[in-house]
Amino acid sequence: MTPSDGDGLGVDLHLEVGAGGGRRAALIAALREAVRGGRLAPGTRLPPYRSLAADLGIARNTVADAYAELVAEGWLTSRQGSGTRVAERVAAPAPGPVRPTAPPPLPYDLVQGKPDPGAFPRAAWLASARRALTDAPHEAFGIGDPHGRIELRRALVEYLARVRGVRTTPDRIVICSGAAHALRLLARVPGAAGPWAVEAYGLPFHRGLFAEAGVSTLPVPVDENGIRVAELPRHAGAVLLTPAHQFPTGGPLHPERRAGVLEWARASGALVVEDDYDGEFRYDRRPVGAVQGLDPERTVLLGSVSKSLSPALRIGWMCLPSALVDGVVAAKGLREPYASATEQLTLADFLVSGAYDRHVRRMRQRHRGRRDRLVTALAERVPEVRVTGIAAGLHAVVELPPGTERAALAAAARHGVAVEGLASYRHPEARGPARPDGLVVGYATPPERLYETAIQALCGALTASLPA
């Protein structure tokens, strides 16, 4: 209900009070149930008598009597100048059945794939947001184009060409909420029909996503040079790759294999889907261009700001072959519900102004320093292990002696370290020998004040779990 202007409270309250006799009793019962069920929390101010009476179509005295009865019973309180409120001492709703709860998070988070939330460039982002909103056309606040904001697509064309060697145009970019959203859309497009070939080591989440879409996945072995192109199945409709920095093992796709995978795609009529998940972060090697730049009509490049800025922004992109654009947009739908138009406009300004480049350079230095500290600590305290996949990205693979991965994970948990085992990333249908036992250690997430302690806790866990 909406009180009259004279009330000055602006309080709305929905109650179901039946017609006919007994209105006072029905109102009392309805108010009791609203308090008992938690709809009216302790301290909530109720509408004045006349407002509620007018809304419910009952006499003002009936409401006054109902309030007085509930005050007498202890459900409500009434004080001069404060109005009528739900009593603070009313018991909370009875708890439902006990449900299992997730265990509390471990204090040292070394799980891969998550940037430090405290590193988000708030001041620079706010400056871009102000400029973007000031300059935005009125139509930006209407129903959006499912391709995404043109300002962002234009900015991405320039940025991706400059830093990743991508060849595309604004009309071939579709904005999405990240790599997972992109893969869901691609799985529904006829031009990317399954089954999909995938790297034998990769994200289980992606395999589950394909399974939900009814697309089977065919694991292909990987080694230090990336996916073994010679073992790609001819009947696959697409292959999902992480060529800049194989996830999770860490190496780039060898140049000969980059050319080979495109030859395979052309010969079999398949699609190459390139997940450029952390291409900005490289340390000890020259920049690696995107495979997409070698054949834009046979390759889809997926990117996002989840690693470079924040997964909370929910902004990603697809650089598509021209033949797939309409199908992806149709799969996305006309009223695209994922990426906010205002955040797309802000990211466009962030890119064009150079703020994104400055942020990436700053974070590259920070991550390189963290990686070096991790490698040094492990070399000094746990010389039995070997650290690989460290030339780029936000994680390292700590290779362990055979048969020790489970013990290392258990010891890490006892030492308060959240970390993942390499075996959890292996496709359940993968053929051939598995990679050595190992831990996938992310070094981006912990705040600086906890990072050194987290490294030492990891070293302690490994020392305790490895054979003497």
Cis peptide leading into 248, omega within 30 of 0? yes
Instruction: Tell me the CA distances in angstroms from 40 to 14, 31, 94, 261, 417, one per residue in order.
Output: 11, 8, 15, 62, 42
Backbone angles phi, psi at 199, to 5 degrees: -65, 140
120-357 to CATH, choices 3.40.640.10, 3.30.450.30, 3.40.50.150, 3.40.50.2300 = 3.40.640.10
Cα separation of 272 and 294, whole Å?
11
Residues of the chain with CATH 3.90.1150.10: 108-112+359-465
- Specify whether the CB–CB gap between 419 and 111 falls below 8 A: yes
pLDDT value, residue 190 = 82
- Specify whether the CB–CB gap between 392 and 281 falls below 8 A: yes
pLDDT, tens digit only, all 468 positions of the chain: 333 334 444 467 778 776 555 888 888 888 998 888 888 889 898 888 888 888 888 888 889 889 988 888 889 998 877 789 999 864 544 555 656 666 688 999 999 988 999 999 999 999 999 999 999 999 999 888 899 999 999 999 999 999 999 999 999 999 999 999 999 999 988 878 779 999 999 999 899 999 998 999 999 999 999 999 999 999 999 999 999 999 999 889 999 999 999 999 999 999 999 999 888 898 887 778 999 999 999 999 999 999 999 999 999 999 999 999 999 999 998 766 678 999 999 999 999 999 999 999 999 999 999 999 999 999 999 999 999 999 999 999 999 999 999 999 999 999 999 999 999 999 999 988 889 999 999 999 999 999 999 999 999 999 999 987
Q: Is 338 exposed, middle or buried (0-12, 13-18, 19+ CB in 10 A)?
A: middle
Residues of the chain with CATH 3.40.640.10: 120-357
Residues of the chain with CATH 1.10.10.10: 5-86
Cα separation of 370 and 452, whole Å?
9
CATH number for the region 5-86 comes to: 1.10.10.10
| Strand 417-418, strand 108-109: pairing | parallel
Kindly state the tokens that stand for 117.
């939330």
CATH number for the region 108-112+359-465 comes to: 3.90.1150.10
Q: Nearest CA to 240 among 282, 186, 286? A: 186
Q: Nearest CA to 250 among 229, 232, 217, 277? A: 277
User: First and final CA of the chain: distance in angstroms?
Assistant: 73
- Looking at residue 389, its amino acid is G
